[in-house]
Amino acid sequence: MSLEWIKPAERLSALPPYVFARLDELKVTARSQGLDLIDLGMGNPDGPPPQPVIEAAIAALQNPNLHGYPPFEGRADFRHTITDWYHRRYGVELDPEVEALPLLGSKEGLTHLALAYINPGDVVLVPNPAYPPHFRGPALAGAEIYGLPLTAEQDWLIDLASIPDTIAERAKILYFNYPSNPTTAVAPRELFVEIVAFARKHQILLVHDLCYAELAFDGYQPVSLLEIPGAKDIGVEFHTLSKTYNMAGWRVGFVVGNTQIIQGLRTLKTNLDYGVFSVVQAAAETALKLPDSHLHTVQQRYCQRRDFMVAGLAELGWQVPKPQATMYLWAPCPSQLSSADFALRLLQEIGIVMTPGSAFGHHGEGYLRISLIAECHRLQEALNRMKQAELCYCSTSNTPDLQTRPPISGMKN
């Protein structure tokens, strides 16, 4: 029975449907119809975590002292491991007592930070397109979101000069993310320096999402915000173990940086949750201590898939830039269809899941995000289906054509 008088808060009704949740619903329906889906949608790494991580979790489960509530600020050993990792990777000195906080995944922390620091009507600067929690968290907090358009012509980099002074003076927080999800863009150190100077001038809190810190290729080394002089005075940086260590379902990440900002987030979280399960923290410590050989293996895996898929799409006429980082491709989609419509037809007609660029903001329209979360033989199957469905860019119009047709052969389980 539906009760009309039970209505959600306006903050929920103001949010559009979460595209990944909708995609999950469509995938369930497609599988129930017998389709063999090739899921390149979410950034959900395939395969288990490294064996030492699993063994560390099993050992921790046998410890009767690790089954109670963990400390709100996280286990001291894990916080020290986090700050040691930062020093090893970036030469950044952090105080594990007050400048590092474990999280239930970075998505949780990014959203809760907005609730901790944004009042209704506060201006928040968010690139567009962007990872959805960068704008949905502020939206839940009642922010006035000022989108910073990112374009291919500017290599998907933030253009600080385009921000009006009146907006800059009102802005409270700037969320940003390089290497970027979804655009795969990487930013030079000079842009980080400019962002810090801009934020200090206008007294803006910086929130940098460094989730793809270790998924970099061809000798590229991503920049940490905290490497920039003065950044820690005004900013924090988020990281997750979901991508590099295949721990997406474990829900563990962390935030580091400015003590005052972190303590505000901690205060909010003490009223909302009890932190990360101690067993998961113990496993995460092991992950962050793994030798660089593990990192090189992960990088080679995604680099191989990147090269394979870019080459395969090129044979179909798609010109997709080869990213220097992340686990994605940012590919153009047909001009005569919205990215959402095109993604829906891909799923329903040839059993391939890709994420429409519009899921990341309206400036993502015209693109698809392709997650490199399948082995090359499955990527080849995806390419074969696209070819059989005549999903190719025409040499004259540079526009792909997806015919309306029944599912192609070979898709049934």
The reply to whether the predicted model has a pTM over 0.75 is yes
Q: Are 368 and 343 in contact (CB under 8 A)?
A: yes
Residue found by looking up tokens 């979901």 in the block = 242
Q: Can you give the pLDDT at residue 412?
A: 36
Lowest mean pLDDT among 13-22, 68-77, 97-106, 139-148: 13-22
Residues 6+ apart with CB under 8 A from 377: none
Average pLDDT over residues 65-76: 95
Cα–Cα distance for residue pair 128/106, rounded to 1 Å: 19
Q: Can you give the pLDDT at residue 16?
A: 66
Q: Can you give the pLDDT at residue 410?
A: 34
| pLDDT surpasses 70 at 226 | yes
Q: Can you give the pLDDT at residue 398?
A: 45
Q: Can you give the pLDDT at residue 362?
A: 93
Lowest mean pLDDT among 144-153, 217-226, 393-402: 393-402
Of 253, 214, 209, 212, which Cα lies nearest the Cα of 235? 209
Cα–Cα distance for residue pair 339/356, rounded to 1 Å: 5
Q: Which residue has the higher pLDDT, 16 or 326?
A: 326
Cα–Cα distance for residue pair 241/249, rounded to 1 Å: 10
Q: What is the pLDDT of residues 232-264, one digit of tens each?
A: 999 999 999 999 999 999 999 999 999 999 999
Lowest mean pLDDT among 11-25, 38-52, 86-100, 208-222: 11-25
Cα dihedral sign, 41-37-304-312: negative
Q: Are 331 and 318 in contact (CB under 8 A)?
A: yes
The type of residue at 319 is Q
Q: Please, what is the Cα angle at 223 between 222 and 225, to 5 degrees?
A: 145
Q: Are 237 and 39 in contact (CB under 8 A)?
A: no
Q: Can you give the pLDDT at residue 348?
A: 84
| pLDDT surpasses 80 at 273 | yes
CATH pick for 10-48+293-388 out of 3.40.50.1980, 3.40.50.300, 3.90.1150.10, 3.40.50.10860:
3.90.1150.10
Q: Can you give the pLDDT at residue 334?
A: 73
Q: Which residue has the higher pLDDT, 27 or 352?
A: 352
Q: Which residue has the higher pLDDT, 375 or 348?
A: 375
Q: Can you give the pLDDT at residue 402?
A: 47
| pLDDT surpasses 80 at 122 | yes
| pLDDT surpasses 80 at 125 | yes
Asked: is 51-288 a CATH 3.40.50.300 domain? The reply is: no
Q: Which residue has the higher pLDDT, 302 or 348?
A: 302
Average pLDDT over residues 182-196: 98
Mean pLDDT, rounded, of the chain: 90
| pLDDT surpasses 50 at 397 | no
| pLDDT surpasses 70 at 403 | no
Average pLDDT over residues 359-380: 96
- Following DSSP, what letter does each residue of 304-369 receive, concatenated? HHHHHHHHHHHHTT------SBSSEEEEE--TTS-HHHHHHHHHHHH-EE-EEGGGG-GGGTTEEE
Sheet-wide strand order for 171-176: 100-103, 253-257, 235-240, 205-209, 171-176, 123-128, 144-149
| Alpha helix (H) residue ranges in 46-127 | 51-61, 76-90, 106-117
Q: Can you give the pLDDT at residue 9?
A: 80
| pLDDT surpasses 60 at 400 | no
Q: Can you give the pLDDT at residue 190?
A: 98
Q: Can you give the pLDDT at residue 345?
A: 86
Q: Which residue has the higher pLDDT, 13 or 298?
A: 298
Q: Which residue has the higher pLDDT, 409 or 32?
A: 32
Q: What is the pLDDT of residues 302-344, one digit of tens each?
A: 999 999 999 999 999 999 999 999 999 999 987 678 898 888 8
Average pLDDT over residues 79-103: 97
The structural domains of the chain, with segments of one domain joined by +, span 10-48+293-388, 51-288
Q: What is the pLDDT of residues 21-60, one digit of tens each?
A: 666 777 677 677 777 889 999 889 998 999 999 999 999 9
State CA 144 to chain mean position distance: 22
